[in-house]
Amino acid sequence: MNAMMSLQGTPVSPGIVVGHAHLVARGMPDVPHYCVTPEHRLNEEERLKAALKESHDQLKEIYQNVNKQQTNPELFYILDAHRLILEDTMLRDGALGYVRKGYNAEWAVVRHLSNITAVFQKMDDSYLREKRSDIEQVGKRLLNNLLGHSEESVAGFPDPVILVAEEFTPSDTLQMKHESVLGFVAQRGGRTSHTAILAKSLGIPAVVGVDQATVKINQGDRLIVDGISGLLYINPDPETLKQLTEKKQRYSTFRQRLLDATIQPAITKDGQQILLKANIEQYSDAFRAKRLGAEGIGLYRTEHLYMNRSILPDEEELVRTFSQVIKSMKDLPVTIRTMDVGGEKQTKLFFKSHSNNGINPAMGMQGIRFCLREEQQVFLTQLRALLRIAAQGDVRILLPMISGVEELEEVLQLFAQAKDDLKKDGLEFNSNVPIGVMVEVPAAAICAEQLAAKVDFLSVGTNDLIQFTLAVDRLDESVAYLYESGHPAVLRLISMTLNGGSAKGIPVSVCGEMAGDPRFAALFLGMGIDELSMSPGCLPLVRRTTRSLDFKQLKEMAKAAINRDTTKEVIGLLEQTLRTACDDEYIFH
C-alpha cells in the first residue's frame, strides 16, 4: 500500500466516511475529425439532430424519475438549465452550420462549443461566465450520444464507494443512491458552486476543491473523507484511522442529540421563544419538515409547478397542489410565495420570450417583475388559486423581488381584481388572507417602513439580499469569497427592515440560508426577530443551540455585532458567544 497522504479541500456537506475510491471519468471524449462530402451531409445533420433529441430525452427521464424525491430544488433548476441549452437554437443551428460546411457531426459540435465557451469566458459578467460549465456538461452528453458511448453511471455499485471526479453533474447527483455512495470528492468547486449545492441536497459527506484529486487518488485507494474539516486522507495509517473513527462516533452522537431535541420548543434559558419554520419546494418536503419539528412552513416555493411544461398549470391544478400541503401541515401556518422565475430559475415560457443579451438575468426580468410585466394572466391564475386555498387553512401569501411601493401597489390592484373575479364566479375565497413582502433587494430594506404600511408582514430573503448588496453572484466560484453572510452592510439592511416593520406594528421574519446557521439565528433572535424559516435539515441544530443561549446576552451581542466594521469581526463575536454558551463540539457544522 502507498504511504498515507492528506489533501485539503473545502467541506460542503458534513460527516465522516471511510471507504474505497471509485474514480469517475468526466473528461471531454476524443472525437474524430474528418470532412464530409456533400452527398453525406444530410446524414450527418440527421445524426446530430438525433443526438440532440436523445440528450434531451435522457435529461427528461432523469427529471421524471427523481422529481418526487426530497431534494434541494436548485438541483432541478440546474437540470432545467441543461435542458434549455439543448433546446436553444444557438447550439443546434451553430453546430448544423459547421456540418453544412463539411465537418462531421462530432467535429462540428466541438468546434461550435469551443466558440461558445471562449465567448463566455471573456465576458465581464460573472453570471454568464459561470454558465460555461453548464454548456460544457451539455456538450459532453451530446458528444457521448453521437459517439455511441454510454456515460458511466453513478446510480449504483456492488459495494459502497467514495466517488472521485473532477466535478459532478446534476444528473450524476440526482441519480446517486445513498446505499451505494458513501461520500464524494470533487477536484473543482467551492462552497457556492453547483457541486456544493448538489452535495448538500443528498446529505452525503463531501469535500470539493481538492487540488489534483483525480491525479493523486488511484482506483481502489482507501479514503477518509472528513466533511467537517475538509480534509481528505488517502490510504490512512492505523493511528489516523483510529482518530477519525473516534471523531466520526462523536459526530454521530452529536447528530443524535439534535434529533432528540426535535420535540422540544426553541426557547432560550431565560424564556424567550422563537418560532422555527421550514422552507419547502414540494408536497413531500412538508412531511420531513414536520418530522424535524417545523412549526409551520415559512416559505413554500412554487416555481417547480412551472418548470419544463408546454402547458402551464391551470387554476384547479394549483388549488389541488396547494391543498395537499395545507392538509399535510394540518393547523400549522403555511406561507406560499408567488412564482419567482428568472435568474437561474428559467422556464420554457420565459426562456423563449427573453434572451439574456449579455445581461445578468438576476438584474432583469425576475420575480414579481416577470409576473406583472409579461404574464399577468398567468399571475392572476395563481392569485385566484391562492385566495381560494386560503379559505382552507392558515395561509399567507409572500411576494418576491418587490423593490418599491409602486410595484407593490400594482400587485395589490391585481389581488383586488382577482377577488372581484372570484366573487363574480361564486367561488369561496379568503378576502383577508395576510400578504407579505419578501425583502431581498436593498431598495426594499431601505423602504421597509413604507412597504410595511401596506402589507401584513415582511420576510427577509437573505440569499438574494447578500448578493444584490455585495454585487456577488453566489454561484460564481471566481467571486465566491466575496459572498459574506455576516457583512456589516447586510446586517444593517436587516436591522432597517426590522425597524420598518416595528414602526408599523407588523412582524418581520427571515427565510434565507442565514436563518439555518446557528450563529446568525442567535444574532436574529438578539435583534428581536422571533420567526425563522430554513431548510428542514437545519431545524434540529438551530433549536438545540437556541436552548443553550441567554436572550439578554444575545441582545447585547446583536447590538455590538451591527456596529462592527468587518465580517471577520462579526463572525468572531458570534462564534465566541456560541462557544461560551454551547458545549457541542460541532456547533458550527
Per-residue pLDDT tens over the stretch 65-91: 655 444 455 566 667 777 777 877 778
Task: Using pLDDT thresholds of 50, 70 and 90, give the confidence band for residue 31.
Answer: confident
Residue with cell 419538515: 289
Q: Give me the helix-helix angle, 567-581 and 488-503, nearest 10°.
A: 70
Which domains are delineated in the chain? 5-25+153-238 (3.50.30.10), 38-147 (1.10.274.10), 263-581 (3.20.20.60)
Over 80: is that where the pLDDT of 304 sits?
no
User: What pLDDT does 286 receive?
Assistant: 87
Q: Who's near 531: CB < 8 A, 6+ residues apart?
A: 274, 275, 277, 298, 507, 509, 510
* Measured distance CA(209)–CA(131) in Å, rounded: 18
Which among 127, 53, 579 has a CA at the least distance from the CA of 345?
127
* Measured distance CA(399)–CA(561) in Å, rounded: 29
Q: Which of 176-180, 267-271, 292-296, 438-442 has the lowest mean pLDDT?
A: 176-180
Which among 20, 544, 18, 516 has a CA at the least distance from the CA of 249?
18
* Measured distance CA(55)–CA(58) in Å, rounded: 5
Is 260 buried (19+), middle (13-18) or exposed (0-12) by CB count in 10 A?
exposed
- pLDDT one-digit tens code per residue, 462-505: 989 998 999 887 656 567 678 899 999 999 999 999 999 999 99
Q: Are 490 and 465 in contact (CB under 8 A)?
A: yes
- The residues annotated as belonging to the active site are 194, 511
Over 50: is that where the pLDDT of 125 sits?
no
User: What pLDDT does 354 receive?
Assistant: 44
Over 80: is that where the pLDDT of 445 sits?
yes
Residue with cell 450524476: 172
- If you average pLDDT over residues 454-466, what whole number do you get? 95
- pLDDT one-digit tens code per residue, 184-212: 899 887 775 666 766 666 678 999 989 99
The single-letter code of the amino acid at 391 is A
- If you average pLDDT over residues 558-584, what whole number do you get? 91
Please provide the average confidence, as pLDDT, over all residues in the chain.
Answer: 84
Q: Which of 203-212, 366-375, 419-428, 559-568 has the lowest mean pLDDT?
A: 366-375
- If you average pLDDT over residues 541-566, what whole number do you get? 94
Which among 137, 175, 139 has a CA at the least distance from the CA of 156?
175
Q: Kindly report the number of other CB atoms within 10 A of residue 471's CB atom.
A: 10
Cell of 29: 471524449
3-state secondary structure of 280: strand
3-state secondary structure of 12: strand
Which among 535, 536, 10, 480 has a CA at the least distance from the CA of 228?
10
* Measured distance CA(154)–CA(163) in Å, rounded: 8
Cell of 394: 392558515
Provide the percentage of residues in the chain whose pLDDT is more than 90: 51
3-state secondary structure of 380: helix
Over 70: is that where the pLDDT of 153 sits?
no
Q: Who's near 218: CB < 8 A, 6+ residues apart?
A: 2, 21, 23
Sign of the torsion angle spanned by Cα atoms 425, 428, 431, 435: negative
Q: Are 280 and 301 in contact (CB under 8 A)?
A: yes
Sheet of strand 222-226, all strands in order from the earlier edge strand to the far edge? 5-8, 231-234, 222-226, 16-23, 161-165, 181-186, 206-208, 10-13
Sign of the torsion angle spanned by Cα atoms 222, 225, 229, 230: positive
- pLDDT one-digit tens code per residue, 325-382: 999 898 899 999 998 876 544 444 444 444 444 455 556 666 787 777 766 678 999 9
Q: Which residues pair with 178 in a beta bridge?
A: none
Looking from the CA of 252 toward its CB, the CA atoms found within 13 Å total 8
Residue with cell 440527421: 46
- If you average pLDDT over residues 10-34, what whole number do you get? 85
* Measured distance CA(322)–CA(316) in Å, rounded: 10
3-state helix, strand, coil in the chain (%, to 5): 55, 15, 35
User: What pLDDT does 431 receive?
Assistant: 95
Element (H, E) at 444: helix 442-446
* Measured distance CA(371)–CA(367) in Å, rounded: 7
